[in-house]
Amino acid sequence: MRETITAALKDATKARDARRVSTLRLVSAAIKDRDIAARTAGAGQATDAELLELFAKMIKQREESQKIYAEAGRTELADQEGAEADIIREFLPKQLSDADMAKAIDDAIAETGASGMRDMGKVMGVLKDRYAGQMDFGKASGAVKAKLG
């Protein structure tokens, strides 16, 4: 994943795409920060799953900022945040559809033998291990609660 981002940054630099270059530099810096934190914890480098979570968090931040800017009438800043989110989204795997997410939740519940709300952590752990970057875990959490509650 790191190589893909580095290659994309090179291509954007050659194409003189300023928005893409600045966004990819932000992503690269965030990856380096995550790697430093992982090394401090003794884990070496951050895993691809951790990077996917990082990207999802970065996208969510930009979407929230975009909404705030749009409400304040700052359309140019809202557009900028939306463009950055789109660039980062390119590096995420394809998102699961609602039907696929429901099936994944059912499978995780069956696998863990979850029977009530106290088992929610087990189910969410399985989902996060298997589907990092592929599903909205906030939405999944609500669906798991509904099925277990």
**Do 79 and 110 lie in a common domain?**
no
Identify the CATH number of the domain in which residue 11 sits. 1.10.1510.10
Give the per-residue pLDDT at 67: 95
Is 79 found in the same domain as 24?
yes
Same domain for 83 and 105?
no
Q: Is residue 13 domain-shared with residue 82, that is, in the same domain? A: yes
Q: Tell me: do 30 and 51 sit in the same domain.
A: yes
Q: Are residues 9 and 45 part of one domain?
A: yes
If one counts the domains in the chain, the total is: 2
pLDDT score of 71: 95
The torsion region of residue 146 among left (phi > 0), alpha (psi -120 to 50) and beta comes to alpha
Distance CA 20, CA 15 (A): 10
Instruction: Specify whether 63 is located in the same domain as 117.
Output: no
Q: Give the pLDDT score at 79.
A: 95
Residue located via tokens 């059912």: 106
* Alpha carbons 84 and 25: distance in angstroms, whole number: 11
Of how many residues is the chain composed?
149
> Which CATH number does the domain housing residue 103 bear?
1.10.10.410
pLDDT tens digits, the chain, 149 residues: what are they?
889 999 999 999 999 999 999 999 999 999 999 989 888 888 778 888 788 888 888 998 999 999 999 999 999 999 999 999 999 988 887 888 888 888 989 888 888 888 888 888 888 888 888 887 778 788 888 888 888 87
**pTM for this model (two decimals):** 0.70
Give Cα 26 distance to the centre of its chain.
15
Residues 12 and 36 in one domain: yes
Q: Are 52 and 133 in contact (CB under 8 A)?
A: yes
Instruction: Note whether 10 and 64 are same-domain residues.
Output: yes
From 89, 113, 128, give the residue that closes a domain: 89
HSE-up of residue 31 (Cα within 13 Å, Cβ side): 21
Taking alpha carbons only, the member of 11, 8, 36, 35 closest to residue 24 is 8
65 and 29 share one domain: yes
Q: Which of 68, 89, 110 is the last residue of a domain?
A: 89
Alpha carbons within 13 angstroms on the beta-carbon side of residue 64 total: 6
Range of the domain at 115: 98-148
